Chains A and B, each alone.
Chain A
């Protein structure tokens, strides 16, 4: 202890002694001697700085005469200038076609892009705003090489599934999001106008500073701050648009369905029910009943600026979206206040705070599948207002009745998050920072179902209310020390830190029936009959983390760059002995361009080689997976009064020996710049090996566990190439640009642990040597045309002419479960995107395309049969009805072998899409001066304008959080196409 106090004293003394502050003033201009307003000036190796005023002047206090100032300005090359004890400095900045020295945000700091040794992809704020969505990650689609963004649904307010460089675990493979330092699992609350920059940390060297949480990649988001010395600047952004379902599915009409049903009964036995199928005509197209053109709107107003003592940024945002399925919507209102105060020399305080209020209404459960499957001979609603019964034949609820009776599914959320921090300049080149961040979410939900009866299956015998309130809290305390120095040709920086994080939450809710009224004011539990009350209050197991972090950067002659990173993480999810994991990473880079022999090659402006190695961890699995718990309320009935007797037991097995999943990642990259960096190319090769993957391994049923225990079982490798090409040039006033990203991905399971041959899931299997969750089932060889055909080929018992003939894969002359085989992978082999655009005379135009290639989709909604006769796709009309009629679609039956998992339901998942197109016009400066505005731009744009895909479903983007069940379409909420008109104004 004594040693520690001595250390305190020393640090204190140094900090007092070494502080000779100097004021530097000056002016910043461009090469034409025009003054530049709002140029960012940063004191190197500190977070302090300033900006130039309206006349291009600046005044800045530097800690010493040896300080280095970094001048950066959008569209110009960043410059570093040593003060060298001067008190005045005039700076001329030169325009850059491509900003090589731009700063990028890295974990716990920023770095010059040229100094990067790891793999970091970034996207500009303007690109984020091209896509109209509640979730900004939607805008990443096709924008960053190696980042695969796919929508799990088009439901308003729902985010996509993101995979960074493949699927590195069989468990939760989502990246983490770090918003102004706060580590989060989702960023549904953010709006795109508030975002300054978004960076994706792809390799271990970049992500290792996030140790435990970094294995699936890290998305770093910096929200917009005010600018020092800039007078208040207002901007207003708004758009308004309409969304439509992108594609409808061809389904059998009323008369076609009636014919099919008659044929069904002829085939399986029973009396055909329809005497005159033709009389039904087109019948009801249920897609017309549930889909609508839906509005989408966004309004954002913000004010930014700063004085010497503080900077401020205040923004308000309203996002309002109706879903393309009736009754669904999502609305979000948010307010963000990002301020920083320099009230005392050498000490900075600041906060980034966001207040979000959202509400949504969910569509009736299962309505997409019901719409697909509902009996088209039935009218949605007859003249007397009675809903038709679709459950009798098709065994699904009438979607129109669902829209009336099952559409009160309200959710409300209040979220406050952000951080408060202080940064203290301790001694020369050393700053300490402490930041307390928090995320507090309060949700409530209510759903109400009235008493109704459509038919004996679709009905509710008494009105019912369900309510839930929940809260989730997350706090994080981070303390870091930052030291950096430049000595001659050596530059180095050291970061050390200690962090703690804790999460907790609980949910409380209940249900009651027989409400005393049916209107909204009665939607409270107490308005229901107390005898029918149920309730619950569930505690969510706390999760805690404690971590130590360290990073060292070293650059020699700006040519040879080294980075070493280390993080030690402790997680409460593990037993006491296996709690801590160590995660190191190393990277080197060689800026070949700086070598003397490169000087002759004038057309090359950048040439960098880099390599990194590192180890990361993943602990995204349920917090009780290692600690077995006793399940409550397994009650039994006893006694003459038939009362419930409380019961509790262990019903599932846990695994106290769980350890961290470990991802070892290697990245090799080359960066090239040509023709004054008009053309830049970045090519990377990566390989990620994940060991000890925690997975709920299916165990035999005889074990008796109600769920499968987690085991450190598997080992998966992802490897591929990421290519990014950008070209930007101008001819006179015509500026144009072109960009391309493409990534290949090879996903391969290397082992599954001893004793496990495969991990089984619906329609998929995960085995060694194949991608995770590969489709597994029968191969259709054709349709048995007649009895002779059955006799000639291997056949199961009980097949009839018209049934599918599966391939006898193992050639043993019989068709049984051993003939199932590999049918493809749900993981794309390649993802790509490209964009092009130009600006001329105030007009801007851009288009973005993206696509995936090489994956398969299992169209599970087509195979869902067995209860009733769901409607058929028009493709089934070409079914087998007699010898020679079809060799692909079998005769009509329900369930049975024809509907077992086979390539009959497997479709090509590749698609290519016009993701967005924007045409904008900015008013010329002359007019703006008259109306005293800085900028006015109007635009129209479209999202998901056209998709080229073979897939027959609503959308070829079929995804799932569950990595073992990706690419299975059970009837997904379709993605919409939208058309928008918008305006950007600032003054």
Chain B
């Protein structure tokens, strides 16, 4: 056979085999995602439970949950702080000082909303997925679900206080559910928060029961403490008292001796810590950090940050004479840094220049962008003041005074002539006293606006300061315009917007 014929035969055979091959080659198109787990194969092992819950904690360090949106809607909007930095810098944030925000502006309102719902999404993934893991340690299963539920309750608690009625998202949504959600009465949100926290309480260990490597995970104490605050917010004083006392009686916590040490690195996860967001400055990357320090750090010299969220004149006036908490909370121009590494120099571009000392942190790897501070979300002192407030409302003024004075006593330290014990027992007067104590004890810790709203003081206080607070409008932030646009009107706007 000559070569051409040979090639024709070979070609014909190859051709036919190709045809046969093409008709049978069904699996050619099956490909696997590379280096990532296909979501359909997630929640198979015990590790997956831990990973999915860690991812919820991870969202707590997100920009939207720690920085402009968080600080603007807690401190800057309140009487404790002003926007900060120089006037032109992120000028939009002055909307929170001036009460000129609207549904589309500034974007920080939407970012806050979005950041919290992204956290809720991850919590929902964990809560939905962990029960499906075929075999795992049952105690761990219970604990990890409890952790996710606690964090979901925390997210919803912020949202319901800021925005009022909310769409209730309790599982990852399907495509046909994206646009049909409507806002549910606040009671439903609170019901979910309470039930999540009750489940969390049942499933979580006490602080001391965690292994050292799990330090920072949420605890029974955190669940009780948050329940107490949730009930206090709802004015359910017996339950607020009950859960605050449970924290106290658990003997897991104690006030730290020196108030000024609470916010230093050595004060992280102290005896006073009930719930704090864990962060650290790694050498190699920002993976363990949050922007919380950077946004509030000294702007100028020594250069530590952007200089936002500055303590207000009104806050300075709120302290009793000689209260050492004032100097522990406010970093003044000319003041030495807590570690003695430098002195804050005057930056002429910034008005009312003074910084939030609670967000100060010593020099660390990768500097300011790599914020290492744990964010103290719930301190024992806060729980004591909840106990005091609830007990006063429950007509147990004497007991209330014990807790109030414990907080004052710690602040007083060894100095006898300041912050005398409170002795008055008139319910209304004592209530004011406790509120005042909350303000100075928890100043610049992103609690103030929630307290003003809860106590119904926001309007009066803002008007005293000459702010354009509109009654029936500014008690709640508006629904982000995008939510209204995208839902085709299923999401209704808050009153007044």
Judging by beta carbons under 8 Å apart, are A631 and B36 in contact?
yes
- Are B349 and A392 closer than 8 Å at their CB atoms? yes
What separation, in Å, do the CA atoms of A212 and B22 have in the docked complex? 18
With A346-B4, A541-B34: A704-B212 Cβ-Cβ less than 8 Å: no
Which of B90, B166, B215, B491 is A867 in contact with, Cβ under 8 Å? B90
The answer on a CB contact under 8 Å between A816 and B102 is yes
Nearest-neighbor residue (CB-CB) of A755 within chain B: B179
B118 part of interface (Cβ distance < 8 Å): yes
Q: Mark out the residues of chain A between 680 and 737 whose CB falls within 8 Å of any chain B CB in the assembled complex.
A: 698-706, 709, 711
> From A423, which residue of chain B is reached at the shortest CB distance?
B11
A629 at the interface (CB under 8 A from B): yes
* Contact A506 to B121, CB < 8 A, known contacts A479-B15, A639-B214, A643-B213: no
Judging by beta carbons under 8 Å apart, are A700 and B181 in contact?
A: yes
CA–CA, A682 and B22, complex, Å: 41
Which residues of A in the span 3-36 have a Cβ within 8 Å of any Cβ on B? 4-5, 7-8, 11-12, 15-16, 19
The answer on a CB contact under 8 Å between A798 and B181 is: no
Beyond A8-B13, A638-B213, A648-B37, whether A579 also contacts B118 by CB under 8 A is: no
Interface string of A634-653 (1 = CB under 8 A from B): 11111111111111111101
Give the CA-CA distance A424 to B214 in the complex, in Å: 70
Assuming the contacts A264-B88, A346-B4, asked whether A650 and B118 have C-beta atoms less than 8 A apart, the reply is no
B186 at the interface (CB under 8 A from A): no
Binds A, one of B122-130, B354-362, B379-387, B391-399: B122-130
**Cα–Cα distance between A644 and B282 once the two chains are bound (Å):** 9
A572 at the interface (CB under 8 A from B): yes
* In contact, B8 and A637 (Cβ under 8 angstroms): no
B236 at the A/B interface (Cβ < 8 Å)?
A: no
* B217 located at the interface, meaning its Cβ lies under 8 Å from any Cβ of chain A in the complex: yes
Q: Find out whether the CB atom of A539 lies under 8 angstroms from the CB atom of B87.
A: no
Per-position binary interface string of chain A over residues 505-516, scored 1 when its CB falls under 8 Å from any chain B CB and 0 otherwise? 010000100000
How distant is the Cα of A500 from the Cα of B36 in the complex, in angstroms? 26
Quick check: is B416 within 8 A (CB to CB) of the other chain? no
- Check if A288 is an interface residue, CB within 8 A of chain B: no
| B49-57, B226-234, B332-340: which lies at the interface | B49-57
Check if A152 is an interface residue, CB within 8 A of chain B: no
* The one of B3, B172, B280, B349 that contacts A653, using a Cβ cutoff of 8 Å: B172
Q: Does A268 contact B (CB under 8 A)?
A: yes
A624 touches B33 (CB 8 A): yes
Contact partner of A16 among B5, B31, B33, B279, CB < 8 A?
B5
Decide if B120 is an interface residue (CB 8 Å cutoff): yes
B136 within 8 Å of A by Cβ? no
> Once the chains bind, are B117 and A704 in contact (CB under 8 Å)?
yes
Nearest CB in chain B: distance from A103 CB, A: 25
Interface-forming stretch among B187-195, B316-324, B402-410, B481-489?
Answer: B481-489
A738-773 interface bits toward B, Cβ cutoff 8 Å, 1 = contact, 0 = none: 000000000000000001111010000000000000
Q: From residue 61 to 111 of chain B, which have CB atoms closer than 8 A to chain A?
A: 86-92, 98, 100, 102-105, 110
Partner of B88, one of A432, A506, A571, A868: A868
- Which residues in A have their C-beta under 8 angstroms from that of B125? 649-650
Q: Contact flags (1/0) for A331-361 with B, using CB distance below 8 Å?
A: 0000000000000111100000000000000
> From residue B178, how far is it (CB to closest CB) to chain A in Å?
5
Which B322-377 residues have a C-beta within 8 angstroms of A? Answer: 348-349, 351, 365-367
Indicate if A817 sits at the interface (CB-CB under 8 A).
yes
| Complex-state Cα separation, A529 to B52, whole angstroms | 32
Known: A706-B118, A817-B103. A7 touches B278 (CB 8 A): no
User: Which of B38-46, B253-261, B417-425, B431-439 touches A?
Assistant: B38-46
Is A705 a contact partner of B121 (Cβ separation < 8 A)?
Answer: yes
Provide the B297-316 mask, 1 if CB < 8 A to any CB of A, else 0: 00110010000000000000
Residue of A511, A634, A642 touching B54 (CB-CB under 8 A): A634
Q: Are B52 and A270 in contact (CB under 8 A)?
A: no
- The answer to whether A424 touches B8, judged by C-beta atoms less than 8 angstroms apart, is yes
Q: Contact between B181 and A12 (Cβ–Cβ < 8 Å)?
A: no
Contact in complex: B12, A15 (CB < 8 Å): yes
Given contacts A637-B279, A704-B117, contact A655 B175 (CB under 8 A): yes
A424 pairs with B91, CB closer than 8 A: no
A627 interface contact, C-beta 8 A: yes
User: B22: which A residues are within 8 A, CB to CB?
Assistant: 498, 546, 548
Shortest CB-to-CB span from B222 to chain A, Å, is: 14
Most chain A Cβ neighbours within 10 Å, of B48, B58, B167, B282: B58
Q: Does B135 contact A (CB under 8 A)?
A: no
B38/A629 in contact, CB under 8 A: yes
Interface pair A650/B172, CB less than 8 Å apart = yes
User: Quick check: B110 and A636 within 8 Å, CB to CB?
Assistant: no
- A85 interface hit (Cβ, 8 Å): no
**A residues in contact with B35, CB < 8 Å:** 537-539, 632
Cβ A757 vs Cβ B54 within 8 A: no
B39 touches A654 (CB 8 A): yes
Contact check, A424 vs B34: say whether CB atoms are below 8 A apart.
Answer: no
Chain A 261-275 interface residues, beta-carbon cutoff 8 Å to B: 264-265, 268-271, 273
- The smallest beta-carbon distance between A36 and chain B, in angstroms, is 31
Q: Does A532 contact B (CB under 8 A)?
A: yes
Bound Cα distance from A653 to B173, whole angstroms: 9
Verify B34–A869 contact, CB threshold 8 A. Answer: no
B88 to A534, Cβ gap below 8 A?
no
Residues of chain A with a CB closer than 8 A to B178's CB: 699-700, 703, 755
Min CB gap A542→B, angstroms:
4
Residue from A273, A639, A700, A866 in contact with B482 in the complex, judged by beta carbons closer than 8 Å: A700
Question: Given A345-B4, A649-B122, A650-B39: A638 and B87 within 8 A (CB)?
Answer: no
Q: For the complex, give the distance between the alpha carbons of A588 and B485 in Å.
A: 47
A425, A630, A704, A868 interface centre (most CB from chain B within 10 Å): A704
Assembly CA distance A135 to B20 (angstroms): 41
- Determine how close the nearest CB of chain B comes to the CB of A786; give it in whole angstroms: 21
CB distance from B166 to the nearest CB of A (A): 8
Known: A532-B284, A653-B172. A701 touches B482 (CB 8 A): yes
Query: Is B104 a contact of A268 with CB atoms below 8 Å?
Result: no
- The answer to the question of B203 belonging to the interface, with a C-beta cut-off of 8 Å to chain A, is no
* Residues of chain B lying within 8 A (CB to CB) of residue A639: 212-216
Q: Given that A649-B56, A757-B485 are contacting pairs, would A637 and B216 also be in contact in the complex, using a CB cutoff of 8 Å? A: yes
The answer to whether B485 touches A760 (Cβ under 8 A) is yes
Give bound CA distance, A664 to B314, whole Å.
68
B64 to chain A, nearest CB (A): 10
Q: Once bound together, how far apart are the Cα atoms of A145 and B20, in whole Å?
A: 43
* Interface contact A346-B31, CB-CB below 8 Å: no
Chain A's closest residue to B20 (CB) is A4
List A contacts of B285 (CB < 8 A). Answer: 534
B89 proximity list for chain A (CB < 8 A): 395, 867-868
Q: Are A12 and B9 in contact (CB under 8 A)?
A: yes
A896 at the interface (CB under 8 A from B): yes
Of B11, B169, B217, B487, the contact of A432 (CB 8 Å cutoff): B11
- In angstroms, Cα B7 to Cα A326, docked, is 58
- Would you give the shortest CB distance from B66 to chain A, in whole angstroms? 13
Name the contact of A426 in the complex, choosing from B11, B38, B366 (C-beta under 8 A).
B11
Q: Does A628 make an interface contact (CB < 8 A)?
A: yes
B137 contacts partner chain A, Cβ-Cβ < 8 Å: no
In A891-942, the 8 Å CB interface with B consists of 894-897, 900
Establish whether residues A638 and B278, one from each chain, have CB atoms under 8 Å apart when the complex forms: yes
Contact B366 A347 (CB under 8 A): no
Instruction: Tell me if A541 and B33 are in contact (CB < 8 A).
Output: yes
Residue of A whose beta carbon sits closest to that of B118: A704
B428 at the interface (CB under 8 A from A): no
Contact B16 A4 (CB under 8 A): yes
A485 contact set on B, CB distance < 8 A: none
Q: Can you give 16 A-B contacts (C-beta < 8 A)?
A: A425-B8, A432-B11, A542-B31, A628-B39, A630-B36, A634-B55, A637-B288, A638-B278, A641-B213, A701-B114, A702-B117, A704-B120, A755-B180, A817-B481, A894-B88, A897-B105
Beyond the given A345-B4, A434-B18, please list 4 additional residue pairs across the A-B interface where CB-CB is below 8 A: A8-B15, A347-B3, A479-B15, A539-B35
Closest 6 CB pairs of A and B: A539-B34, A704-B121, A647-B54, A649-B55, A636-B57, A628-B39
